[in-house]
A and B are shown apart, each in its own frame.
Chain A
Amino acid sequence: MASAPVSTQETGSAPPLVSLRGLTKRFGSFTANESIDLDLHPGEVHALLGENGAGKSTLVKTIYGLIQPTSGHMLWNGQETVVRSPEEARALGVGMVFQHFSLFDNLTVAENIALALPRSERLETIPARIAEVAQRYGIVLEPQRRVWTLSAGERQRIEIARCLLQNPKLLILDEPTSVLTPQEAETLFQTLDRLKAEGRAILYISHKLDEVKRLCDRATILRMGKVVATCDPRQESARSLAALMVGAQVKDVQAASNRVFGEPRIVVDQLSMRSPELHGVALKNISLSVSAGEILGIAGIAGNGQAELFAALSGEVVANTPGVIGFNGKAAGLENITQRRQRQAAFVPEERNGHAAAPDFALSENVVLSRHADGSMTRFGLLDFGRARSLAGEIIGAFDVRKAGPDPAARTLSGGNLQKFVVGREILRNPSALVIDQPTWGVDAAAAAAIRQAIVDLAAKGAAVIVISQDLDELFEISDRIAVIHQGELSEARPASVITREEIGLLMAGAALAH
């Protein structure tokens, strides 16, 4: 039951810990937050829901003192308060766990924690303080370890411990489960339940509606910078919450009927490879096979070798022996990405800005990026920008890419539109094999649905597709088989209709690989 935004106090008679009143933040002509009202009570887990770009980050950064509002104000325990910096926010009792961790890889756990504590805290006392938190909340950390040696789950524990050491009254968590296995997430929820019982307020940002229903007492839903509803998520269905977030019904992906798989198109045979990155993950003995018409999903927590697997498949990093990677029946291990593209393979990396596309280049120039491989972008040795422009137009039309101006720079597009553009650039080539890494990461729901539909349609036309994703819902929605990558090892792929979330969770944690 969604109601209009209300400022009356519903939860008990105690005054809210935090009240935002008419909070507005403008960046130039763009309004990120418009007149936001929000109350957070002690002992409450409050969900902040919204699509990418709805203004959630701006709002929590304002509470954390990283940005100053253009107008409006914040009350802390009923007192009007101006938070000028994160330091002041922390002194007030606000703790924040960032989605992209705010950790320093080459520093130790203790140093990382020290950096967020008040200056008065002595460096020597940190290990003892860490032990204290470990005892109280069961968060175990080794103070002298360097952060780059730790898993994503362990890193998140550092962030949480760092907040708890300051005894916060309000804890903000930004998409905390996106890097966790389902089992790790459950452990986190138990910690959060405990913090709630201690009377702390928790502001929980997520777009996973099941979690919100499991955990949260109230939810505030943002759309395009405005509060569109405040409700009790346990009284709502996941569907109705989604409709509030998006503002319209999102189409379900239509599965193709009568699926028939053909010849193996992408074959990996005992691929092992060191990471070119300093702290990267080595690939260990990976084997897989994807047939024409089939979609293989690869699940896993971020940083377990997905980027390295993508680089090895695309040919951005070339293997040592020809036979370890094959496209369309030809050994391609020694070929570079251009030669693999000439074998009708196509690739979409995780990062749109700076990897799939050059942010400062126009869309037509970005067409040349992957399309020059077949020689179609040059005439008499010179680039054919006319052709690039018309191809860009085709992609924009077919994938409904919204943009300003005739041929704008890639960086001016929203995340969803740029992702549609780079996916469209590859799919319109009609590749017989597609490898796509995090296809809908940070993309709005409508664009995500369109991209998933395009992937399913491409497979239905007979292409073999590998989708690497951290989003289990997405993988279950479109994959035929699912495998899990953990520390560079890939589990055996199993039919999506058979494998369960729990099994995947165990594989993501590396547990079941022992058998």
Chain B
Amino acid sequence: MRIDLVARNGRSRLVEIAAPLVALIAAMAIGGLLVALLGKSPVQAFFVYFVDPLMESWSLQELAVKATPLVIIAVGLCFCFRANLWNIGAEGQFILGGAMGGWIALLTHGGAGGWWILPAMLLTGALAGLAYALIPALLRVWLGVSEILTSLMLVYIAQFFLDYMVRGPWRDPKGFNFPVTVNFADAATLPQLFDGGRMHAGVLIAIVVALVAALVFSRSLFGYEVRLVGAAPRAARFAGFDDRRLTLSVFAISGALAGLAGIVEVSGQIGQLQPSISPGYGFTAIIVAFLGRLSPIGIVVAGLVLALTYIGGESAQVAMKLPFYLTGAFQGILLMCVLAADVFTRYRLSVQFGRAA
């Protein structure tokens, strides 16, 4: 038997929308198998993971809150991935953005406060992420160093940096030696959207970011440039687009958005700095970006789906005693299914029986 990939002639809208859905269903089936192997009921797990969180107002809000950092990071990543550049260090940029933005909150803590503190935090966070992402970008542009490896190594370094700062210089002196900073003042906390609710203003930021990015991608010359560099790099050079400038631009955008996501999470959700401020959002956002087919609107939907796995995973740990790592395994399976399904938007599978050639 011989299996061949045959290029499709055109792109079908239907197939492009169907592909991630099929991938999600396939991943759920495999995940269900895993649950069964662990001796639990896949049906119950399905409800705990994917249905129950959608049934209550607080968990719906929680969903939006969890999706917020994922969406903001993933929108930035899709600029890189579309241009065939691999910033896989968003986790590090997220951490540094949260840390440096949070630093502003610490500096102004106990002061008179003021409307400018929050914007200053958001800006600092974004700039910190931007600067951190420029390290691999500059190394690539100047010296041809693989951005994949350097951006990832910088994740570890950012983690150690935050860990040191929170245990050392930034520790709350009245915190009974816990490695945490003071709780941020109100002026340094993103406001809640509803009284008594869980949703903070970061949710709006995520929506605005996705909408602006969608416009940039579909209608601006810069968006065209990004798509062209990824699809046909020589044609992009022929079009007069400078690939060095573009590399720096997309890393700057993705780093700034990851940093922004970091400070949004710290200011809106955590309310202080801790040794660890991310359960791997920077890596999960890679899955979000691909599940959303590298389009900002798709990423909003995909962000909600992945947020669901986090929330569902937490309740499954409690309700069904399912292991914490099941969520991680499921996310990996999902990304693999998405990548496989993506192939079928470009190719048809042709199977010929008979002896192989």
Judge A-B direct contact (beta carbons within 8 Å): yes
Binding site for B on A (CB under 8 A): 27-28, 65-68, 84-85, 314-316, 336-338, 341, 347, 349, 351, 354-361, 365, 368-370, 372-373, 377-378, 381-383, 404-405, 408-409, 412
Q: Which of B220, B237, B242, B356 contacts A383, CB < 8 Å? A: B220
Binding site for A on B (CB under 8 A): 6, 9-11, 219-221, 224, 227-228, 231-232, 234-235, 237-240, 242, 350, 355-357
Pair A68/B234 contact, Cβ less than 8 Å: no
What is the bound-complex CA distance between A15 and B118, given in angstroms? 90
Q: Given A370-B239, A383-B221, does the pair A358, B11 have CB atoms closer than 8 Å?
A: no
What is the bound-complex CA distance between A354 and B9, given in angstroms? 17
**Shortest Cβ distance from B236 into chain A, in angstroms?**
8
**Shortest Cβ distance from B244 into chain A, in angstroms?**
12
What is the bound-complex CA distance between A336 and B9, given in angstroms? 35
Pair A358/B232 contact, Cβ less than 8 Å: yes
Q: Which of B9, B232, B239, B242 contacts A359, CB < 8 Å? A: B232
Q: Offer 13 A-B interface pairs, CB within 8 angstroms, sorted by A.
A: A314-B238, A338-B240, A355-B232, A357-B232, A358-B228, A361-B228, A372-B239, A378-B221, A381-B220, A381-B221, A382-B219, A383-B220, A405-B10
Pair B11/A409 contact, Cβ less than 8 Å: yes
Nearest 9 Cβ contacts at the A-B interface: A338-B240, A358-B232, A382-B219, A337-B240, A355-B234, A358-B235, A369-B239, A354-B232, A358-B231
Pair B221/A377 contact, Cβ less than 8 Å: yes
What is the bound-complex CA distance between A470 and B356, given in angstroms? 39
Pair B239/A356 contact, Cβ less than 8 Å: no
Pair B221/A370 contact, Cβ less than 8 Å: no
What is the bound-complex CA distance between A355 and B232, given in angstroms? 7
What is the bound-complex CA distance between A404 and B234, given in angstroms? 26
Pair B219/A383 contact, Cβ less than 8 Å: yes
Q: Which of B9, B237, B239 contacts A412, CB < 8 Å? A: B9
Pair A357/B220 contact, Cβ less than 8 Å: no
What is the bound-complex CA distance between A47 and B238, given in angstroms? 39
Q: Given A65-B357, A373-B240, does the pair A354, B234 have CB atoms closer than 8 Å?
A: yes
**Shortest Cβ distance from B344 into chain A, in angstroms?**
15
Having A337-B239, A357-B235, A378-B221, one finds 11 other A-B pairs with CB under 8 Å, namely A316-B237, A337-B238, A358-B232, A361-B232, A368-B224, A369-B235, A372-B221, A372-B240, A404-B9, A405-B10, A408-B10
Q: Given A84-B357, A354-B232, does the pair A383, B224 have CB atoms closer than 8 Å?
A: yes
Query: What residues of chain A lie closer than 8 Å to B228, measured between beta carbons?
Result: 358, 361, 369
Pair A409/B10 contact, Cβ less than 8 Å: yes
What is the bound-complex CA distance between A361 and B234, given in angstroms? 14
Pair B357/A67 contact, Cβ less than 8 Å: yes
What is the bound-complex CA distance between A450 and B4, given in angstroms? 37
**Shortest Cβ distance from B354 into chain A, in angstroms?**
8
Pair B235/A355 contact, Cβ less than 8 Å: yes
What is the bound-complex CA distance between A306 and B20, given in angstroms? 45
What is the bound-complex CA distance between A96 and B168, given in angstroms? 71
Q: Which of B238, B242, B357 contacts A85, CB < 8 Å? A: B357
Query: What residues of chain B lie closer than 8 Å to A383, measured between beta carbons?
Result: 219-221, 224
Query: What residues of chain B lie closer than 8 Å to A373, measured between beta carbons?
Result: 240
**Shortest Cβ distance from B106 into chain A, in angstroms?**
39
Query: What residues of chain B lie closer than 8 Å to A354, measured between beta carbons?
Result: 232, 234-235
What is the bound-complex CA distance between A186 and B139, given in angstroms? 52
Query: What residues of chain A lie closer than 8 Å to B224, measured between beta carbons?
Result: 365, 368, 372, 383
Query: What residues of chain B lie closer than 8 Å to A368, measured between beta carbons?
Result: 221, 224, 239
Q: Which of A65, A341, A349, A358 contacts B240, CB < 8 Å? A: A341
A375 and chain B: residue at smallest CB distance: B221
